[in-house]
Structure 1
Amino acid sequence: MKKIKSLLLVLAISISSVLSASTNKELPKSSSVAKEVAKLLKNPNLDLKEEVLVFVKFALNDNHEMVVLSVDSDNRQIDSFIKNKLNYVKLKAKSNTDKKMFVIPIRFQPSK
C-alpha cells in the first residue's frame, strides 16, 4: 500500500510539472514602459528599403534611467538611432513589475 501511495505521488508530481511547462504564457499587455519607449522612438529619420524588426534589450538603473544593453540589428543606422534616443533617458512611467531587464521588439517601417 505504501508503494502505491508513493507511486501515485510521483506520478501526480510529474504530470503537474509537464502540464505547467506546456502552458502558453501570454505576453503581458502593452506596458507603460513599452508605450514610453515607443513614444521616444517616434518619427525616425531612417532611410530603410524594407520593414525591419529589432529587439532592444535594456536595463533600468536605480535612477529609473534606461541603459541600452544590446540592439539586435545589423543596421548601424538603426543601432545608433536607438542608442542615441534611449540611453540614459529617465522614464516617467513606472514598470508594473519589479524587473530591471527588458526586451522590447521594435518594428521600423520604410518611409513612404
Structure 2
Amino acid sequence: MRKLTFIILVSLGLHIAIASDDAKPAEQLRNEIVKLLQSPRMELENNEAQAVISFTITTERELVVLSVKSENKLMDSFVKARLNYKKVDYNVIENGQVFRIPLKIVIKN
C-alpha cells in the first residue's frame, strides 16, 4: 500500500472575532492546533480540502468547535474529532471569544 504524506497548512492568520475588532493570539495556540490536526486518515478529492474552523476556548482551556465550513463532508467530523475538548495552553482573555482559522489539508504522494 502506498504511503501518503500529509501536510496540513494552517494560515498564519488566526483571528479572534470580538465585535468588530480583530486581534492575534499567541502563535503557540496556532502551533498546538496544527499538531492536533496532523496525519489525517481520509480520502480527499483532488488530494486537498479546505475549511474555516470557528471555535472557542473554555475557562478549563479546552477547545470547543462551533462550526466547520467546508465543501468536504469528512472535514467536519475530522476536525471535531481531533479538536473538540482537547486541552490547550492558552489563557482565555475574555469569556466567549470566537476564534476563526482557515485550514488547508494537502496530501502529497
Match of 2:78 in 1: 81
Match of 1:7 in 2: none
Q: Deviations over 1:47-67 (max 9, x none)?
A: 112222211000011111011
The structure with the greater share of residues assigned to helix is 1
Q: Which structure has the larger Rg? A: 1
**Structure 1 ranges of 4+ moved more than 3 A:** 27-30
Q: CA deviation at 1:98?
A: 2.1
Structure 2 counterparts to residues 47-86 of structure 1, below 5 A = 47-50=43-46, 51-86=48-83
Q: Deviations over 1:40-93 (max 9, x none)?
A: 0001011112222211000011111011000011322111011011001111x2
Cα distance between partner residues in 1 of 2:98 and 2:68: 14
TM-score, with normalisation over the residues of structure 2? 0.67
Are residues 30 and 94 of structure 1, via their aligned partners in 2, closer, same or farther at CA, if it must alter by over 3 Å? closer
Structure 2's unaligned 5+ residue stretches are 1-22
Indicate conservation of the 8 Å contact 1:47/1:111, yes or no. Answer: no
Q: Deviations over 1:8-53 (max 9, x none)?
A: xxxxxxxxxxxxxxxxxxx848711111000000010111122222
Higher relative contact order (CA 8 A, sep 6+): 2
Match of 1:110 in 2: 107
Structure 1's unaligned 5+ residue stretches are 1-26
Cα distance between partner residues in 1 of 2:98 and 2:38: 22
Match of 1:46 in 2: 42
- Taking only the aligned residue pairs, the percentage that are identical comes to 32
SS of structure 1 residue aligned to 2:45: coil
The structure with the greater share of residues assigned to strand is 2
SS of structure 1 residue aligned to 2:44: coil
TM-score, with normalisation over the residues of structure 1? 0.65
Indicate conservation of the 8 Å contact 2:70/2:76, yes or no. Answer: yes
